[in-house]
Structure 1
Amino acid sequence: MGTTPTQVMAFPNIRAIVRDNGTAEVIVAGNSRIVPAGDSMQELRNNALALIVGEAQTLQRPVRVRIEDPEGHGELIVHPDNKIESVSYETAPARRRAEAPETTPATASPAIIEAAPAPEPMAVPAPATATATAALVDAQPWPPAPATATPEPQTAAAVEEAAPTRRSLKETSFLVSAPVLEPATQGWRGTLTRLGLRMDPSEEELTEREDVRTVSQHWPGPRTIAVVNRKGGANKTPTVVMLSAILARYSGAATVAWDNNESQGTLGWRTEKGAHDRSVLDLIDASTDLLSPSTNAAEIAKFVHHQTADKFDVLRSDENEEGDHEVTAEEVDIAHQVLTRYYRLVVMDSGNTARAANWRRMIDHTNQLVVPVTAIEDRAEAARLTLQTLESRGGHDAELARNAVVIVSESTDAKRSMSGEALKRAKDEAQRIADGFAPFVRAVVRIPYDPALVNGPIRYEALQPATQRAWLAAAAAVAAGF
């Protein structure tokens, strides 16, 4: 069954104009696209249709197009799957038609027609190939042929049966189903757009927009991310900071980074300190009040350290001088209950002991597992053993391992030497490790070396653009698991 005009929105406004001088253009929302020349009027029409099919594929829905040529004018519906329907067609006066270089074949049909394969969807649709054009000529969807057969007389009953029935208003809508593609903002395409020549975004920019959309989503209920590796120096803390910063910045969701080290972790050293010294133990002591229905949401600020630039909070591990307290499984339960009341997203740093009670209880509360690793053999092996341990436990733990996101960061050692050969080895080793994990987890993301991640407090804005883009991709891979 064909698509009726009321089911296809006339947006964007598309016109296809074929002239008797052998030129043609397709105008989409006021932007003209020159149609490749053809050897005949029909080939020129089909080249125009190929551009329109590409536009339908870009929008991922049928489009309506007004057609004009020396033989007449009308309207078509063009589908992304190369089907073309004729809605209406009115021939030009006889004198004007006689001046046209071709006459309309009498064999064309106004029904749905399978056109030749159009170019693959891309930001700017490519011209039709010679093969596609030839196939379209055979199909001849434009213009439709006039009817030649004399219709059979109909009885009154047949006429009554054929009369159109009134459609329900529930069957149509005036809303545009697909969002308008915003013009390019990056690279030379963005430069041309700012100069007044609207350009479609590149594939790279479209991918970045999709990553931004993914990390900007809101989801029902709180989510907990655990960042784990049994080896120290595997980039756990920078990973916690970067994921927290990007998810908080883009989604606007209340986000807390929690240092769930069994004794004393380093998350507090790599982030901004608030106006107090409170830690997770203070939060646990105040849990009864914090869980009271009468407690104001702002009270949580007494126990966390806000990151003013990156818009997330940090819950520090115990930093008392004796360092004789180890967080228990019960204390993890209490702290997690408090935090999920005040935050939608909890990102947990961890220690190096997968057997510790607080580590195992963290896994019980985890929705998404992240395994960071620097491109060094022992860090990668420790990450593998961490995943293997979880997988061997079965159930929830094994599912977390299979659905994990592994983040591979290039080694810092080679960068310090600034040797070209060392840089190449570092990149090759990072790729080897990434390829090794890929068959066993949901996603693997590589992060380039960046000196802003090595020492001192970590700030998203201090990273190089390439590093920011890589971490955005990593955060999108994580958020896709929510």
Structure 2
Amino acid sequence: MGTTPTQVMAFPNIRAIVRDNGTAEVIVAGNSRIVPAGDSMQELRNNALALIVGEAQTLQRPVRVRIEDPEGHGELIVHPDNKIESVSYDPAPARRRAEAPETTPATAAPAIIETAPAPAPEPMAVPAPAASVDAQPWPPAPATATSEPQTAAAVEEAAPTRRSLKETSFLVSAPVLEPATQGWRGTLTRLGLRMDPSEEELTEREDVRTVSQHWPGPRTIAVVNRKGGANKTPTVVMLSAILARYSGAATVAWDNNESQGTLGWRTEKGSHDRSVLDLIDASTELLSPSTNAAEIAKLVHHQTADKFDVLRSDENEEGDHEVTAEEVDIAHQVLTRYYRLVVMDSGNTARAANWRRMIDHTNQLVVPVTAIEDRAEAARLTLQTLESRGGHDAELARNAVVIVSESTDAKRSMSGEALKRAKDEAQRIADGFAPFVRAVVRIPYDPALVNGPIRYEALQPATQRAWLAAAAAVAAGF
């Protein structure tokens, strides 16, 4: 018998959007996943459903999905075993060809992660129209047991049989939804009236769950943009802080500038002056099976509040040493022995040997950009360079996470109109990147990110929430 919407949890909030320009995305708890392209609209829908089935398999239960495409919208229930049930479907109104504007990838709805998505609407009550499977935008609901009268033979055949105890379990697999802790719902819960969390709180919980997971083997994140002042170093610090805080995984932020970088200036300094060159010199000792794991502490700078370590770039005054590709290999081998997560800052030269070798070791690419034209153009060229190289580099570019920060020129004294222009420019740049990468996240302006050492706790709550969404988008690529 089919599953009704009331029997399936609305958490996480899942939307599947198929556009008539041949693009599609699946949004799970605010995190956008680009759907692989298909040769037809139906194949694109099937690819979207495949992603949703994967989510149902991960949760080990059916999930509710809101679907939207040029032919209509409605709601599905998707089961881990590939079973699809149509709950409701509302066909789009017919329109004359002359009234249908052309849609190009540049104007398609962007796959932009927002930290507070709108709550899901109530399910449609309109039944799916009778049509062939190929003519319907999404699979129709299977016939239920009440569709046709059953014969005596069918009833006898459906009679329950004795089952093995191995096939039975009394454990409840569905997670228990904890009551609200935020907003007025949280206030009522604390007063003794249990309230379910809002969609916004559920989205935040899903982001926390994503960044708190452990994964097999080490992961390397490269933060890149050819242009200076694009927010690379603050991005490295914030991603390292959030992932280390929530997951508890040993995390190191590595300044992989070919000469001297600024990561050491924006983070807490330890009781020594050692850098990546000292780590390379000590690599034989550090890679020895007899070396204690705590020995790495004499070469990195621990962030006491944010719980990650920093490996500084060479800071000698002459600046006469450029890190080579071989030295990147050595340092990466050492760090991945002692840390589960390596977040790499980078210089501005995509042709440098250490930059290119960093990309060879990268699992997830992050491209930060401030909402200024030349920074955005440099980010585009960085992605274009990687895409043109093909193979691993091109795959990193396609699955990149772009983080757009509002202009750091914003001040408290700025007029409301100026602040609006800054936000509009950030949105314009985010929209421009959305069709070409896996996810785009916007970060509001925060003075705590402009100068001096960066601390997670110093950020405004809205900024902390935005960076949590950014870290979740990155971790989803692991």
Q: Normalising by the residue count of structure 1, what TM-score does the alignment of the two structures yield? A: 0.70
**CA–CA distance in structure 2, aligned partners of residues 398 and 25 of structure 1:** 20
CA pair 170-93 structure 1, distance change in 2 beyond 3 A? farther
**CA–CA distance in structure 2, aligned partners of residues 409 and 113 of structure 1:** 13
Partner secondary structure for residue 57 of structure 2: helix
Give the equivalent residue in structure 1 for 2:103.
103
Among 415, 418, 425, which residue is 1:422 paired with?
418
* Aligned-residue CA RMSD (Å): 15.1
1:89 touches 1:143 (CA, 8 Å); kept in 2? no
Partner secondary structure for residue 424 of structure 2: helix
Tell me by how many angstroms 1:321 deviates: 1.3
**CA–CA distance in structure 2, aligned partners of residues 371 and 25 of structure 1:** 20
Tell me by how many angstroms 1:44 deviates: 42
Partner secondary structure for residue 423 of structure 2: helix
Residues 100-132 of structure 1: CA distance to partner in whole angstroms, max 9, x if unpaired? 999999999999999x999847999999xxxxx
CA pair 139-407 structure 1, distance change in 2 beyond 3 A? closer
**CA–CA distance in structure 1, aligned partners of residues 32 and 365 of structure 2:** 49
Instruction: In structure 1, list runs of 5 or more residues that go unmatched.
Output: 128-133
CA pair 181-423 structure 1, distance change in 2 beyond 3 A? same
Which is higher, the Rg of structure 1 or of structure 2?
1
Partner secondary structure for residue 415 of structure 1: coil
More deviation in 186-195 or 13-22?
13-22
1:77 touches 1:86 (CA, 8 Å); kept in 2? yes
**CA–CA distance in structure 1, aligned partners of residues 376 and 103 of structure 2:** 71
Partner secondary structure for residue 417 of structure 1: coil
1:107 touches 1:145 (CA, 8 Å); kept in 2? no
**CA–CA distance in structure 1, aligned partners of residues 225 and 25 of structure 2:** 59
CA pair 174-285 structure 1, distance change in 2 beyond 3 A? same
Partner secondary structure for residue 416 of structure 1: coil
Partner secondary structure for residue 136 of structure 1: coil
Partner secondary structure for residue 191 of structure 1: helix
Residues 299-350 of structure 1: CA distance to partner in whole angstroms, max 9, x if unpaired? 0001000000000000000001111000000000000000000000000000
Tell me by how many angstroms 1:420 deviates: 1.3
Tell me by how many angstroms 1:166 deviates: 2.0
CA pair 109-409 structure 1, distance change in 2 beyond 3 A? closer
**CA–CA distance in structure 2, aligned partners of residues 235 and 21 of structure 1:** 33
Residues 9-67 of structure 1: CA distance to partner in whole angstroms, max 9, x if unpaired? 99999999999999999999999999999999999999999999999999996999999
CA pair 166-313 structure 1, distance change in 2 beyond 3 A? same
Tell me by how many angstroms 1:4 deviates: 16
- The alignment covers a number of residue pairs equal to 475
Tell me by how many angstroms 1:241 deviates: 0.1
2:16 touches 2:24 (CA, 8 Å); kept in 1? yes
Tell me by how many angstroms 1:173 deviates: 1.1
Tell me by how many angstroms 1:355 deviates: 0.5
**CA–CA distance in structure 2, aligned partners of residues 309 and 81 of structure 1:** 45
CA pair 200-25 structure 1, distance change in 2 beyond 3 A? farther
CA pair 392-275 structure 1, distance change in 2 beyond 3 A? same
**CA–CA distance in structure 1, aligned partners of residues 249 and 262 of structure 2:** 24
1:226 touches 1:370 (CA, 8 Å); kept in 2? yes
CA pair 172-326 structure 1, distance change in 2 beyond 3 A? same
Residues 141-176 of structure 1: CA distance to partner in whole angstroms, max 9, x if unpaired? 999999999999999999999986421112221111
**CA–CA distance in structure 2, aligned partners of residues 95 and 444 of structure 1:** 32
1:229 touches 1:352 (CA, 8 Å); kept in 2? yes
2:223 touches 2:346 (CA, 8 Å); kept in 1? yes
Residues 365-386 of structure 1: CA distance to partner in whole angstroms, max 9, x if unpaired? 0000000000000000000000
Q: Does the alignment pair 1:182 with 2:178?
A: yes
**CA–CA distance in structure 2, aligned partners of residues 10 and 375 of structure 1:** 35
2:233 touches 2:263 (CA, 8 Å); kept in 1? yes
CA pair 363-2 structure 1, distance change in 2 beyond 3 A? closer
1:229 touches 1:371 (CA, 8 Å); kept in 2? yes
CA pair 102-337 structure 1, distance change in 2 beyond 3 A? closer
Tell me by how many angstroms 1:225 deviates: 0.2
More deviation in 35-44 or 186-195?
35-44
2:85 touches 2:140 (CA, 8 Å); kept in 1? no
**CA–CA distance in structure 2, aligned partners of residues 358 and 146 of structure 1:** 56
Among 117, 120, 126, which residue is 2:119 paired with?
117
Q: Normalising by the residue count of structure 2, what TM-score does the alignment of the two structures yield? A: 0.70
1:227 touches 1:372 (CA, 8 Å); kept in 2? yes
CA pair 477-407 structure 1, distance change in 2 beyond 3 A? same
Give the equivalent residue in structure 2 for 1:333.
329
Note the 1:136-155 alignment, pairs <5 A.
none
CA pair 105-171 structure 1, distance change in 2 beyond 3 A? farther
CA pair 125-29 structure 1, distance change in 2 beyond 3 A? farther
**CA–CA distance in structure 1, aligned partners of residues 256 and 144 of structure 2:** 81
CA pair 186-96 structure 1, distance change in 2 beyond 3 A? same
1:279 touches 1:316 (CA, 8 Å); kept in 2? yes
Partner secondary structure for residue 68 of structure 2: strand
Instruction: In structure 2, list runs of 5 or more residues that go unmatched.
Output: none
CA pair 11-163 structure 1, distance change in 2 beyond 3 A? farther
CA pair 271-170 structure 1, distance change in 2 beyond 3 A? same
Partner secondary structure for residue 263 of structure 2: coil
2:32 touches 2:439 (CA, 8 Å); kept in 1? no
Residues 230-255 of structure 1: CA distance to partner in whole angstroms, max 9, x if unpaired? 00000000000000000000000000
